[in-house]
Amino acid sequence: MTTYDHNSPQDDLLLALIEGELDAAREAAVLATLDAPTLARVNQMRRHRALLGRVCDVAAPPQLLDRAMAVLEREAVLGPSVSDDAVRDSFQIDQYAVPAGGAWQRRLAIAAGLALFVGGIGYFGLRLAPHRPVIGPQFASAPSSSKTSGDAELHTDPQPTEQLAKSDPTTTDRVSPPSPAPLAQEPTASGDTRLAQADAIDPDIDDSLPFSIASAVSFDDADPIELALDEPRTDLTPARTWAAYEDLTPATLSVFNEMPASLDLEHAARLAADGRLVIRVRADRPAIAAARLIGQADSRANKGRIFRLMPCPPPDFEEAAANALPPARTMDDPSGLTVPYRTPMRPVVETVLSVELDPSASTIAMVQAELEVLSEGAVVFDMLEMPVTMAPPCGEDGGLRGWNAAAPTSVVHSVVVPLIVESNE
């Protein structure tokens, strides 16, 4: 009979018979030796084998390969991930294995949980509590005269200003007028100089600004854009900077700056990588130029390019695009401020598009050459005062799509740059 791991010779013979591995003569000879029940079983098994052998193959789903490739590429980039099953298995707890503790154990566990909960809330509450910036003048006046706010109290040096002045032999005979910066930089009793410095910078930041602007302004100290591109626009008068017009984004206002001289390509590439480049196309016939560019912002036309022209503007420029036409040439702003985009001198913005490109000088040169041909106008690279919010690239139909919609191998390091079509008037 059958042993556990190996067939008997008789079983091997039957198996060969079932699987059709015997020649005809041998098969007939073996069949002749079988009794009726065994013969019936053998025939049934042969039939089952034949039936199973005729089951058709099913085509693999078309998306299967793409899914597997996406997983492979993701894991190649991010490292092997723990599968869901592994995570689930690692957290499986045998409910019957939990020792039945007494009531005091449960109470202790509840108390410990509560303590952790309260501690956690306290910790995160302190960390996430809104931090009101301390305004400079309050700082300056706090030690000598009035303590008007709790914040000032917190950051006030308990040592009087006169004592501080006397401690410095070079300033013993004069008392400096209170000013925000020096006082803020002086060490406090708690030694918290950095906090005071951080609170004292940029006193002109308006809390009422939209979040996007506020976040763009209040970068961390180590922000690479601030460090790498500390390039103020010297050609702009203060009245034309964004701070004067709280209801407009800096991106929108930058549209209405005068057309400057074009930046060189290397500079433009660096700005593009930091989100501070804007491409301005100034054409004699802006409507025609805009129509041509929009007509080229489709997948078929983009196939042959190393950049991608898209019909929707980056988010920061949506307002500029919305207000592009028709032009309003009157000064009717109720606030009384000079509103550059409504002055007769403003350039007439025809439309705002997006260009997705690799931020390199060679690519930007090709972009410039092709845009000049398409628009029959001048293409100028200009610098934005503030980095624009990086736009998710939109599809050729104008709808937004995610950055990582395609497989990782097809994702290139690209940025989205606003493209403004203006009148040459």
Residues engaged in binding other proteins (CB under 8 A) = 2-7, 11-12, 14-15, 18-19, 41, 43-61, 64-65, 67-69, 71-73, 75-76, 80, 83, 409
Q: How far is the CB of 186 from other proteins (least distance, A)?
A: 58
Q: How far is the CB of 66 from other proteins (least distance, A)?
A: 9
Q: How far is the CB of 183 from other proteins (least distance, A)?
A: 59
Q: Which residue has tokens 């500079």?
A: 267
61 versus 102: smaller Cβ distance to other proteins:
61
64 versus 115: smaller Cβ distance to other proteins:
64
46 versus 401: smaller Cβ distance to other proteins:
46
Q: Judge if the upstream peptide bond of residue 418 is cis by omega within 30 degrees of 0.
A: no
Helices and strands per DSSP (H, E), number in the chain: 19, 5
- CB atoms under 10 Å from CB of 384, counted, come to 23
Q: Which two tokens stand for residue 81?
A: 């991930």
Q: How far is the CB of 1 from other proteins (least distance, A)?
A: 11
11 versus 231: smaller Cβ distance to other proteins:
11
Q: How far is the CB of 101 from other proteins (least distance, A)?
A: 28
Q: How far is the CB of 49 from other proteins (least distance, A)?
A: 5
Q: How far is the CB of 69 from other proteins (least distance, A)?
A: 6
**Alpha-carbon dihedral 35, 38, 44, 49, rounded to 10 degrees:** -120
Query: How far is CA 303 from its chain centroid?
Result: 25
Which residues sit opposite 417 in a β-bridge? 355
Q: Which two tokens stand for residue 300?
A: 């078929």
11 versus 266: smaller Cβ distance to other proteins:
11
Do the beta carbons of residue 417 and residue 272 sit within 8 Å?
Answer: yes
SS3 label, residue 277: strand
Q: How far is the CB of 60 from other proteins (least distance, A)?
A: 4
Q: Which two tokens stand for residue 366?
A: 């090709």
**Whole-number Å distance between alpha carbons of 243 and 216:** 13
Q: How far is the CB of 70 from other proteins (least distance, A)?
A: 9
19 versus 246: smaller Cβ distance to other proteins:
19
38 versus 215: smaller Cβ distance to other proteins:
38
71 versus 121: smaller Cβ distance to other proteins:
71
The b-or-e profile of 192-222 (16+ CB within 10 A means b, else e) is: eeebbebbbeeeeeeeebeebbeebbeeeee
12 versus 246: smaller Cβ distance to other proteins:
12
Do the beta carbons of residue 402 and residue 392 sit within 8 Å?
Answer: yes
**Whole-number Å distance between alpha carbons of 425 and 71:** 53
The b-or-e profile of 295-308 (16+ CB within 10 A means b, else e) is: ebbeeeebeeeebb
- From 365, 389, 211, select the one nearest 313 (Cα to Cα): 389
